[in-house]
Amino acid sequence: MEVFVVPDADAVASCAAREVLEGLARATARRSGARPPASGSPSTAKGQAGAKGAAAVGPAVSGPVVLGLATGSSPLGLYRELERAQGEGRVDLRAAHGVALDEYVGLLAGHPQSYREVLRREVGDRLGIDDARLHVPDGAHDDEASLAAAAADYEETIRGLGGVDVQILGIGVNGHLGFNEPGSALTSRTRVKRLAASTREENARFFDSVDDVPTHCVTQGLGTVLSARRLVLVATGEAKARAVANAVEGPLTASCPASVLQWHADAVAVLDEGAAGLLANRRYYDDSAAGL
């Protein structure tokens, strides 16, 4: 795993955007049949979001690339950076597909806190990705069979898109990834899960009260997340420090679902000082980022 520690949330957003766009530049080349830029080459690792030298032929990121989207506060700055890159003509994400990690069960279509609506507001509308290309699990069912079918359909949707090129991830205070709570199988696929009581309490800030937070969700499994070609985790603030240390340096265990990042060959964690506060191997990460 590559770990970047940067001073603050703004720097996390810009560093993570660079890592996301580097992955999407490779996807653009791969999906258009061109030779992809080398992974992790010095020019892409430190470069201009993979846009180097591409000005004459159009943006380095364009076409039907597949971007995995996370909800929560952590990726919002990153989404603003992608919007900025598009505004400056460095990338064109209007034909991209957005693929959500998860959705609540039981919220009515159009509920402002449903993840479909959140991602429409925060990503789709801003980047010009229309609803047909914004894919979110369908949690608007009240029986198990329909929810299980919706979960299976979602796996099929992802397969039909040719997989997720870059998956953006946040991390829960308890180490959850998407809505894969501690104890989630490391090879799990999209399915219905119960939310941990602590997760419902954390997410109560988006609802009138904790009682209004759904008890269940449909979430990509950890195995689904691992199928994405690149993973980019963003985390800020001291409240995430324990979860981040467990995910990055702890054992690979279902007790910390985000530790599956260690199993992925192209995972990147972008952290601010607060979130990185409990990392033991900090010096190594800084040396690696500096190219030493």
130 is catalytic: no
Residue for token digits 């199988």?
185
117 is catalytic: no
Half-sphere exposure of 32 (CA within 13 A, CB side): 16
Q: Does residue 203 interact with ligand GLP by CB under 6 A? A: yes
Contact 49, 18 (CB under 8 A): yes
176 is catalytic: yes
DSSP code at position 61? B
Catalytic annotation, pick one of 97, 103, 174, 202: 174
Q: Under rule CB under 6 A, which residues in 67-96 are in contact with ligand GLP?
A: 70-74
Q: Which amino acid is at 108?
A: L
Nearest to 86 by CA among 53, 119, 125: 125
Q: Does residue 178 interact with ligand GLP by CB under 6 A? A: yes
CA angle 35, 37, 41 (to 5 degrees): 145
Q: Does residue 221 interact with ligand GLP by CB under 6 A? A: no
DSSP, residue by residue, 160-197: HTTS-SEEEE---TT--BTTB-TT--TT--SEEEEPPH
CB 172 to ligand GLP: min, Å: 5
CB 221 to ligand GLP: min, Å: 13
97 is catalytic: no
The stretch near ligand GLP (CB under 6 A) out of 117-125, 167-175, 247-255, 273-281 is 167-175
Closer to ligand GLP by Cβ: residue 101 or 232 = 101
Q: Under rule CB under 6 A, which residues in 180-199 are in contact with ligand GLP?
A: 199
The site for ligand GLP (CB under 6 A) is made up of 70-74, 101-102, 170-172, 178-179, 199, 203
